[in-house]
Amino acid sequence: MRVSFDDVSVARGQRTIVAGVSLEVPSGTVLGLLGTNGSGKSTLLRAVYRVLRPSAGRILLDGDDVWRLSPRETARRVAVVAQETNDEFGMTVSQAVLLGRTPHHRGFSLDTAQDRRIAARAMDRVGVGDLAHRQVGELSGGERQRVLLARAITQQARVLVLDEPTNHLDIAHRLELMDLIRETGLTTLIALHDLDLALGHCDRVALVADGRIDRTGTPDEVLTTEVLRERFRVEAAIIRNPERERSHILLNGVVRDEPATAAVILKGHHS
Ligand SMILES: Nc1ncnc2c1ncn2[C@@H]1O[C@H](COP(=O)(O)OP(=O)(O)OP(=O)(O)O)[C@@H](O)[C@H]1O
């Protein structure tokens, strides 16, 4: 399923947080949204899964405006792994994962044997099958994140939206998550802080800065040493691993303010 952003702006109160974003995400593409804290990645994603209505512009799923679809129809098309979900704390893992079937139910119909099979398969796939009877509220951050991914897979949507899904995951689970996303073949929008992961696992990346798309391209095109210095304030080298045919980022340190600027700040501080 293709996702199109057509001149999308999102305001919170008086402030425009996302401004005039236009972007095409072809079917089956894994798109990484990159950018520093507060640049607007989550806000943009929330507009896709119908939490924040754009103040201007449209988000289209295969040409259909998300905000003209019913919430249920959107949920059939878009599955979400978001940061702030506490609703399922009192549930068992299997109950939380089965929630992914809700958009496919008519009215208040109950889970079927097929629903339970789909959920069980998703839990096994992300390696939380043995947690099925545990309470979600008792799990570690990383375990919970994988349960949310199992729920998203259970939903059988064609677009997957993930907001910083790797922040609680250990290294192996990070890599597994990205491989799993690839295997699903779904159109995926994923906000990531781990730039090396983006470099190795995204088809395309979009750099978000001050609520706008600063540039888009393949990870190798976008993540240059200049961009890392100017947009992310880090000195880094990009090295090529010929065996894996991919690049890696070697971080050297934070870009320090110019001495002249620092002197002015110090002076201002003392006066
Ligand atoms: N409810 C709100 N009211 C006003 N401003 C908000 C609100 N929610 C977020 N913002 C602001 O919008 C901007 C973008 O926030 P957003 O969460 O989209 O950034 P982000 O790129 O996802 O950041 P991070 O990497 O830190 O998660 C920030 O400056 C934030 O303070």
pLDDT at 183: 87
Q: What is the pLDDT of residue 130?
A: 95
Among 85-89, 104-108, 258-262, the range of highest mean pLDDT:
104-108
The dihedrals phi and psi of 267, each to the nearest 5 degrees, come to -60, -45
**How do strand 30-34 and strand 204-209 relate by DSSP bridges?**
parallel
Q: Cα separations (Å) of 121 from 105, 135, 155, 223, 242?
A: 19, 19, 12, 36, 36
**For residue 87, which amino acid is it?**
D
User: From atom 1 of ligand 1, which residue's Cα is the shortest distance away?
Assistant: 12
**3 state DSSP class of 174:** helix
pLDDT at 144 over 50: yes
Atom of ligand 1 nearest to the CA of 208: 21
Contact 71, 78 (CB under 8 A): no
> What is residue 164's three-state secondary structure?
coil
Q: What are phi and psi of 222, to 5 degrees?
A: -85, -40
Strands (E), 26-179: 30-34, 56-61, 64-65, 78-81, 159-163
Tell which wins on pLDDT, 88 or 94.
94
Probe residue for ligand 1, chosen from 21, 42, 81, 214 as the CB with the greatest number of ligand atoms within 8 Å:
42
CA of 37 to the centre of ligand 1 (A): 8
Q: Is the CB of 37 under 6 A from ligand 1?
A: yes
Tokens of 24: 């095409």
- The whole-angstrom separation of Cα 268 and Cα 271 is 5
The whole-model pTM stands at 0.91
**What pLDDT score was predicted for residue 271?**
39
CA of 84 to the centre of ligand 1 (A): 13
Residue 156 has pLDDT above 60, yes or no: yes
Q: Which residues of 138-156 are buried (b: 16+ CB within 10 A; e: fewer)?
A: ebeebbbbbbbbbbbbbbb
Q: At what angle do helices 113-125 and 141-154 cross, to 10 degrees?
A: 140
Task: Kindly report the backbone phi and psi dihedral angles of residue 63, in degrees, each rounded to the nearest multiple of 5, phi listed first.
Answer: 90, -10
pLDDT in tens, 183-224: 889 999 999 999 999 999 999 999 999 999 999 999 999 999
* Residue 114 tokens, joined: 């097929």
Nearest 10 degrees: Cα torsion 65, 66, 71, 75:
120
Return d(Cα 142, Cα 173) in angstroms, integer: 8
Residue nearest to atom 2 of ligand 1 (CA): 12
Q: Could you give the angle at the alpha carbon of 131 between the alpha carbons of 78 and 86, nearest 5°?
A: 50
Burial class (CB in 10 A: 0-12, 13-18, 19+), 259: exposed
Nearest CA to ligand 1 atom 12: 17
| Residue 33 CA to ligand 1 centre (angstroms) | 14
CB of 51 sitting under 6 A from ligand 1: no
